[in-house]
Amino acid sequence: MSGLSDFFQTNPLYPFRFEPVYKHYLWGGSRLKELFNRSMNSEADCTAESWEVTDHPHGQSVVKNGQLRGTTLNDIVQYAPTKLFGQETVNSDVPPKQFPLLFKYLDAKQTLSVQVHPDIETIEKLQLNDNEKNECWLVAEAEPDSFLYLGTGRK
């Protein structure tokens, strides 16, 4: 990987395009394939999530354009943290070991299961191999009778 180190010392970062990471769950559908005109494997009718930008143990973004084609997002974090995050972030008490955000699309054809996201103290106490999950949702499209649950109530 010394080639990456050399590359980042002599070249600026450029706008990356990433290969999506698809997640297939029972509650998924086929809308992501249709909306984005994407070809997917034979499980396309249960594609629940498309991780567009991810540096996660269960899905890693891979650059699909330019000189860094084939490089993972985590490689960029490891070899060019200052260029990616800025000097102040890298020099902080806890420099980033991975890209802190996950951008994804969901296609919930069926009701999702209850999601429980532990806080950072619980993650550390139970020694879970995961990050804290603070979420922000933007509903881009929904069927007329769609709804969301928040907590234990319907909104």
Which pLDDT belongs to residue 40? 73
Which pLDDT belongs to residue 2? 62
- Is the pLDDT higher at 129 or at 102? 102
Contact predicate 60/117, CB 8 Å:
no
Contact predicate 97/105, CB 8 Å:
no
**pLDDT digits over 25-71, tens only?**
888 988 898 888 887 765 557 899 999 999 998 999 999 999 999 99
With 0-12 CB in 10 A as exposed, 13-18 as middle and 19+ as buried, what is 27? Answer: middle
**pLDDT digits over 121-130, tens only?**
888 888 877 6
* Model confidence, pTM: 0.83
CB < 8 Å & 24+ apart, contacts of 1-5 = 1/75, 1/79, 4/71, 4/75, 4/79, 5/79
Domains and CATH numbers, the chain: 2-110 (2.60.120.10)
